[in-house]
């Protein structure tokens, strides 16, 4: 009855405006809205339409308004991806800046994000990235990160160099790594990993050949000293 009355009054849907769409599929948006031009505009429930849109993977929040006499206005706030998460089944998913898993992505597709692993890694990665933003010499080299336990990460730099971080005082450890990066340590191929979990100390683990060379050098120094 209400729909017939509003239609007779000329209050029918004639225009749909969607703003803020970048990643969300226009097809998915249309399927979520399920509206057609010519529908009585008061038959459209903005709250219901908003809930449908916010169920889409890319949509963080949405504003839906009837703008009389003929317009449905939609404003989308999309999720911002910051990392890739590889789950226990080796499936890869995009993770947003709030730690929400957005969607599974095709393996091999080009992405500029580093890969994180670990059951609770998605929820923990925003805090890690916030800390890394303060240390750009480290962040730019991060290709992977493993959430090994509560509040504790291991980083992978340049796809090979493993960094063990503490579960507390992460900023202190990253500041030390920033110093190592400025000194060229990250480019040294004979360093396999660096452990900065203990305050005021750092442990470097070398390749076998590098360790043997270092041992030989130490013996020569001891011989000369004696």
25 lies in the same domain as 110: no
Average pLDDT of the residues of the chain? 89
Within a domain: 225 = no
Q: Note the pLDDT of residue 112.
A: 85
**Residues whose CB falls within 8 Å of the CB of residue 197, separated by 6 or more in sequence, listed in order:** 164, 165, 166, 173
Q: Which two tokens stand for residue 188?
A: 């040294």
Banded model confidence at residue 161, pLDDT cuts 50, 70, 90 = very high
- Residues 71 and 98 grouped into a single domain: no
In a domain? residue 222: no
The partner residues of 93 in beta bridges, in order of sequence, read 85, 104
Domain identity same for 124 and 206: yes
pLDDT at 209: 80
Comparing 20 with 220, which gets the higher pLDDT? 20
Q: Are residues 97 and 49 in the same domain?
A: no
**Same domain, residue pair 41 and 90:** no
Residue 166, pLDDT above cutoff 80: yes
Is a pLDDT exceeding 60 seen at residue 221? no
Task: Classify residue 83 by burial, with Cβ atoms within 10 Å: 0-12, 13-18, 19+.
Answer: buried
CATH code for the domain in which residue 70 is found? 3.10.20.310
Task: Identify whether residues 22 and 102 lie together within a single domain.
Answer: no
Residues 27 and 132 in one domain: no
* 118: exposed, middle or buried (Cβ count in 10 Å: 0-12, 13-18, 19+): buried
Residue 62 lies in a domain: yes
Q: Which one of 78, 99, 133 terminates a domain?
A: 78
Same-domain check for residues 57 and 158: no
The mean pLDDT value for 10-14 works out to 86
Instruction: Please report whether residue 168 resides in a domain.
Output: yes
Give percent of the chain with pLDDT exceeding 70: 86
- 164 and 133 within one domain: yes
One domain, residues 125 and 164: yes
The tens digit of pLDDT for each residue in 94-135 reads 999 999 999 999 866 667 899 999 999 999 999 999 999 999
Residue 72 included in any domain: yes
Check which CATH number belongs to the domain holding 188 and give it: 3.40.50.11690
pLDDT band of residue 1 (cuts 50, 70, 90) is very low
Q: What is the pLDDT of residue 216?
A: 53
Position with higher pLDDT, 109 vs 35 = 35
What's the pLDDT score for residue 107? 66
The reply to whether 69 and 129 lie within a common domain is no
- Asked whether residue 224 is assigned to any structural domain, the reply reads no
Give me the pLDDT at residue 2, please: 45
Q: Residue 211 has what pLDDT?
A: 62
65 and 126, same structural domain? no
> At CA 19, angle to CA 13 and CA 20, rounded to 5?
150
Strand segments, DSSP code E, in the chain are 15-19, 59-67, 71-78, 81-86, 92-96, 101-105, 115-117, 142-149, 152-157, 161-164, 191-195, 203-206
Number of domain units in the chain: 2
Of residues 131 and 225, more confidence is placed in 131
Region 124-150 average pLDDT: 95
Q: What is the pLDDT of residue 110?
A: 62
Domain that holds residue 106: 81-210
Domain contains 219: no
pLDDT at res. 31: 97
| Domain contains 223 | no
């Amino acid at each position: 009855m209400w729909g017939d009355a509003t239609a007779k009054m000329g209050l029918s849907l004639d225009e749909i405006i969607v703003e803020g769409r970048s990643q969300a599929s226009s097809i998915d948006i249309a399927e979520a809205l399920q509206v057609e031009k010519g529908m009585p505009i008061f038959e459209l429930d903005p709250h219901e339409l908003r809930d449908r849109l916010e169920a889409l993977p890319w949509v963080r929040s949405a504003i839906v308004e009837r703008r009389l006499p003929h317009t449905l206005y939609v404003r989308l706030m999309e999720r911002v991806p910051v990392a890739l998460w590889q789950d226990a089944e080796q499936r890869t998913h995009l993770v947003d800046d709030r730690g929400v898993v957005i969607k599974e992505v095709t393996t091999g597709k080009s992405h500029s994000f580093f890969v994180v692993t670990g059951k609770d890694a998605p929820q923990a990665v925003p805090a890690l990235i916030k800390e890394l933003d303060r240390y750009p010499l480290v962040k730019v080299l991060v290709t992977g990160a493993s959430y090994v336990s509560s509040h504790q990460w291991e980083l992978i730099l340049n796809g090979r160099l493993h960094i063990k971080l503490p579960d507390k005082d992460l900023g202190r450890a990253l500041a030390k790594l920033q110093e190592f990066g400025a000194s060229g340590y990250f480019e040294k191929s004979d360093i396999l990993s660096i452990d900065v979990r203990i305050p005021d100390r750092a442990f470097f683990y070398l390749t076998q050949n590098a360790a043997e060379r270092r041992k030989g050098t130490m013996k020569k120094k001891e011989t000369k000293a004696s």
